[in-house]
Chains A and B, each alone.
Chain A
């Protein structure tokens, strides 16, 4: 039942090469009935301007978020979403998107909360596919709905909440936002709208490793050697660490979560999706401003 992995030599260096496919591989598997292609973008209309033939759209905001509570959809909601898009539990799902797969990685992370077994990213995402003049269509293919089982969302493995972060001091925190957000000069990414965090800065002891460092100019992931130099030589992380990554709303840190988990093979990485919009608005949580990670308040230090 399982779909063959992409034998691309670059991927074989990664811890979990089965989590990536190349544009070449996808082009050869577009007619594979086992493979479902999903586009997930920042811009909610980009799919409608043209997408990979046969791809279905899943939007991070209107599909994956609960419309009322600040949370993801529940097991029933996810089953209805995937079943309605014609995606079975045994499907090989290949997700791609704009902005170096920033939102695609977010969607993949949410799929992981529901334990979807075979979900992969298209290395290089939408931009690389288009740059290579591969086929794009505006025709929407309606896949027949299928039964997707109701699987309870499991937040324990890869998701961290605010209290988890408060209990995490002493273990590595990675802030993947831009340097100006980290230092506290602003609360949003450059060129992004203000999203209502009331304070600026970062979580004490967090290291700043902007997410985009993991992406090459063409949007593909950097090689394993380059990634090790960024996260291990550069930020002092190792596979033994219990790591929590965060950003502004958890989307950019999903990209870093993917890199640490699937490309470098760290077994204990969580994404704090509440991220700065929650931390920066919470009462009495510690915050550090400036370019240095800063110290954890003695009352919260665990070590």
Chain B
């Protein structure tokens, strides 16, 4: 894959994952899961405004907005689905605040480059690919 297009925020996250052993990548993903920001009231009180990500096994909902040309990403997933929460949190932290064009240029295979294949299995990683795809689609619609 090409790395030129990748924003610093996502490069930093990837380096964080790749810097540690496979087993510790799981714990890092758990840190992300615990750090998924709460939804603002306009979504927390109106979950129907979020889009269901059917590629994920657990119920996860996401909304992407453009605010003054910058990306805002909101997501929620239950505590019983920490892997999915972790996926969502990586993307929220990595994409939030980016110029829209930079977010749209993120390669679709970014989830596969985090070194998580052995830790969580490629099948489960598809959920994160689905999340990224839906966020980018919503951004295209909003831009």
Mark A residues whose CB is within 8 Å of B. 42-46, 48-49, 59, 61-62, 98, 191-195
A59, B55: Cα distance in complex, Å = 20
- Roughly how many angstroms separate A42 CA and B81 CA in the complex, as a whole number? 9
- Residues of B that sit less than 8 Å from A by CB: 26-27, 29-30, 33, 54-59, 79-84, 86, 118-121, 123-124, 126-127, 130
Chain B nearest Cβ from A52, distance in angstroms? 15
Question: Which secondary structure characterizes the binding site on chain B?
Answer: helix
Q: How far is the CB of A216 from chain B (nearest CB, A)?
A: 19
Q: Which chain B residues border A43 with CB–CB below 8 Å?
A: 57-58, 80-84
Q: Does A44 contact B54, Cβ atoms closer than 8 Å?
A: no
**Would you call A193 and B54 a contact (CB within 8 A)?**
yes
Nearest CB of A to B55, in Å:
5
Q: A44-B124, A61-B124, A193-B54 are in contact. List 17 more A-B contacts (CB 8 A).
A: A43-B84, A45-B30, A45-B86, A46-B81, A46-B83, A48-B82, A49-B33, A49-B79, A59-B121, A61-B121, A62-B118, A98-B80, A191-B54, A191-B59, A192-B57, A193-B130, A194-B55
When chains A and B are docked, how far (Å) is the Cα of A45 from the Cα of B78? Answer: 13
Contact residues in B for A44 (Cβ distance below 8 Å): 26, 83, 119-121, 124
Which of A45, A191, A193, A194 is close to B26, meaning CB atoms less than 8 Å apart?
Answer: A45
The verdict on A193 contacting B27 (CB below 8 Å), with A44-B124, A45-B86, A46-B80 known, is: no
Taking CB as reference atom, which chain B residue is nearest A48?
B30
Contact (Cβ within 8 A) B127 A193? yes
Contact B86 A193, beta carbon cutoff 8 Å: no
Given the complex of chains A and B, what is the CA–CA distance between A98 and B78 in angstroms?
Answer: 13
A214 CA / B49 CA spacing, docked (Å): 35
User: Once the chains bind, are B26 and A48 in contact (CB under 8 Å)?
Assistant: yes
Enumerate chain A residues within 8 angstroms of B82, measured Cβ to Cβ: 43, 45-46, 48-49
Interface centre among A44, A48, A192, A194 (most CB of B within 10 A): A44
Nearest B residue to A44, CB-CB: B120
Complex CA–CA separation, A99 to B123 (angstroms): 18
Q: How many whole Å from B81's CB to the nearest CB in chain A?
A: 6
- Give CA–CA (A46, B118) in the complex, Å: 17
CA distance A194 to B53 in the complex (A): 12
Asked if A61 and B57 make an inter-chain contact with CB atoms under 8 angstroms apart, the answer reads no
Min CB distance A85 to B, Å, is 14
Q: Name the contact of A193 in the complex, choosing from B79, B118, B119, B126 (C-beta under 8 A).
A: B126
Q: Least Cβ distance of B21 to chain A in Å?
A: 14
Contacts A45-B83, A191-B54; is A61 near B29 (CB within 8 Å)?
no
Closest 10 CB pairs of A and B: A45-B82, A61-B121, A45-B83, A193-B55, A44-B120, A43-B83, A48-B30, A49-B82, A45-B30, A44-B83
Report yes or no: A61 in contact with B30, Cβ–Cβ below 8 A.
no
User: Chain A nearest CB: distance from B20 CB in Å?
Assistant: 14
- What are 23 of the A-B contact pairs (CB < 8 Å)? A43-B83, A44-B26, A44-B119, A44-B120, A45-B26, A45-B29, A45-B33, A45-B82, A45-B86, A46-B82, A46-B83, A48-B26, A48-B27, A49-B30, A49-B82, A61-B124, A62-B121, A98-B80, A191-B59, A192-B54, A192-B57, A193-B130, A194-B55
Which residues from chain A contact B127 at a C-beta distance below 8 Å?
A: 193
From residue B101, how far is it (CB to closest CB) to chain A in Å? 29
In the bound complex, residues from chain B placing their C-beta under 8 Å from that of A46 are 80-83
Assess whether B30 is in contact with A193, with CB atoms less than 8 Å apart: no
Residues of chain A contacted by B58 (CB below 8 angstroms): 43
Which residues on the B side are within 8 Å of A59 (C-beta)? 121
> Which A residues are in CB contact (< 8 Å) with B80?
43, 46, 98
Find out whether the CB atom of A42 lies under 8 angstroms from the CB atom of B57: yes
Chain B residue at minimal CB-CB distance from A138: B30
* Nearest CB in chain B to that of A249: its residue: B123
Closest to A45 in B: B82
| A49: chain B residues within 8 A (beta carbon) | 30, 33, 79, 82
Complex Cα spacing A195 to B127, Å = 11
Q: Considering the chains assembled together, what is the distance between the CA atoms of A59 and B83 in angstroms?
A: 13
What residues of B have a CB within 8 angstroms of the CB of A98 in the complex? Answer: 80
